[in-house]
């Protein structure tokens, strides 16, 4: 498939033009025209690029690409090395940030909710069409420790649990990655537990004082699933060769 055509298909699928984001979504760096093999990952790090080169991929597809708002604009140092490696090897870089967090089926949040066996999943802020956070419930009440164990088993990573005091957890809200500040919205709605990727110092006090269990499941760990779902969509719908590479990241 032609690289631009693939970009158009994904842009449309993920509805990128309706998002105000911190980075450009879509084809960020152009490579060869014909895309057959795609490597997917959470972040377009040098390690991921090196594997894509080794495996003769025509494209990399990630959640965290480049050109973030506020970052230095100069193409020097680490940024130069990454971009040079991509261009030297003709590798297209596709990146989808918020659109891949929010997509109702393929998004990071939709996929994490499904993985954690949360039912009745819906937007945390129903008044916002592009609400990143989601809310739902468990089919049976869990204790704080049981939910911790479930996250650990399903994400293969021990979460940091801040006990909010409630004995039973039935309702749960979540936002992958750096979504910790949605905890206040969840607490205001009386939800029993909130899960995000990263945690801030303030999150602990909010959890304790507002009486909501909080779990930091890992930014990387909680955002591995959207890009994999998108990869499966590309394989099935577009017939391209897609492989997900998990570059370990403890954060």
Residue 65 found at the interface with Zn ion (CB under 5 A) = no
**CA neighbours within 13 Å on the CB side: how many for 134?**
23
Residue 136 found at the interface with Zn ion (CB under 5 A) = no
Q: How many residues bind Zn ion (CB under 5 A)?
A: 2
Residue 133 found at the interface with Zn ion (CB under 5 A) = no
Q: From the CB of 178, what's the least distance to Zn ion, in Å?
A: 6
Collapsing DSSP to helix, strand or coil, 93 comes out as strand
Q: From the CB of 132, what's the least distance to Zn ion, in Å?
A: 10
Q: From the CB of 209, what's the least distance to Zn ion, in Å?
A: 27
Find out whether 133 and 174 touch, Cβ atoms under 8 Å.
Answer: yes
- CA–CA dist 223, 180 (Å, integer): 14
Start-end of H helices in 26-176: 46-54, 77-88, 98-102, 108-115, 144-155
User: In which element (H, E) is residue 193 found?
Assistant: strand 193-196
Q: Which is nearer to Zn ion, 121 or 219 (CB)?
A: 219
User: Which stretch, 74-82, 113-121, 162-170, 172-180, contacts Zn ion (CB under 5 A)?
Assistant: 172-180
Residue 179 found at the interface with Zn ion (CB under 5 A) = no
Contacts of 140 (CB under 8 A, 6+ apart): none
- Considering only residues 24 to 53 of the shown chain, the ones binding Zn ion according to CB under 5 A are none
Residue 107 found at the interface with Zn ion (CB under 5 A) = no
Only one residue has tokens 């994999």, namely 228
Only one residue has tokens 């704080």, namely 144
Q: Which residue is nearest to Zn ion (CB)?
A: 177
Residue 99 found at the interface with Zn ion (CB under 5 A) = no
Collapsing DSSP to helix, strand or coil, 75 comes out as coil
Collapsing DSSP to helix, strand or coil, 161 comes out as strand
Among 177, 179, 218, 231, indicate the residue that binds Zn ion (CB under 5 A).
Answer: 177
Q: How would you classify the pairing of strands 37-43 and 26-29?
A: unpaired
Q: Which is nearer to Zn ion, 76 or 251 (CB)?
A: 251
Residue 226 found at the interface with Zn ion (CB under 5 A) = no
Q: From the CB of 214, what's the least distance to Zn ion, in Å?
A: 18
- CA–CA dist 1, 33 (Å, integer): 8
Which structure tokens are listed for 199?
């945690």
Q: From the CB of 64, what's the least distance to Zn ion, in Å?
A: 6
User: Which stretch, 73-81, 111-119, 181-189, 221-229, contacts Zn ion (CB under 5 A)?
Assistant: 221-229
Q: From the CB of 179, what's the least distance to Zn ion, in Å?
A: 9
Interacting residues with Zn ion (CB under 5 A):
177, 223
């Amino acid at each position: 498939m032609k690289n631009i055509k693939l970009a158009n298909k994904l842009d449309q699928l993920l509805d990128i033009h309706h998002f105000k984001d911190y980075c450009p979504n879509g084809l960020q760096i152009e490579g060869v025209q014909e895309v057959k093999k795609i490597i997917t990952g959470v972040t377009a790090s040098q390690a991921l690029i090196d594997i894509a080169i080794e495996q003769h991929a025509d494209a990399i597809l990630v959640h965290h690409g480049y050109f973030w708002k506020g970052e230095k604009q100069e193409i020097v140092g680490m940024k130069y090395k990454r971009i040079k490696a991509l261009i030297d090897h003709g590798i297209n870089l596709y990146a989808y940030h918020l659109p891949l967090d929010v997509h109702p089926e393929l998004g990071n949040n939709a996929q994490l909710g499904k993985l954690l066996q949360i039912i009745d999943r819906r937007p945390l802020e129903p008044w916002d069409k592009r609400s990143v956070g989601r809310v739902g419930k468990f089919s049976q009440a869990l204790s704080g420790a049981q939910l911790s164990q479930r996250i650990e088993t399903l994400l293969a990573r021990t979460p940091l649990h801040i006990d909010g005091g409630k004995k039973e957890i039935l309702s749960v809200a979540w936002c992958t990655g750096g979504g910790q500040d949605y905890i206040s919205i969840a607490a205001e709605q009386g939800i029993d537990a909130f899960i995000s990727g990263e945690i801030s110092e303030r999150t602990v006090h909010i959890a304790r004082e507002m009486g909501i269990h909080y779990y930091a499941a890992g930014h990387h760990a909680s955002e591995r699933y959207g890009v994999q779902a998108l990869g499966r969509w590309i394989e099935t719908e577009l017939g391209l060769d897609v492989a997900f590479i998990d570059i370990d990241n403890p954060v």
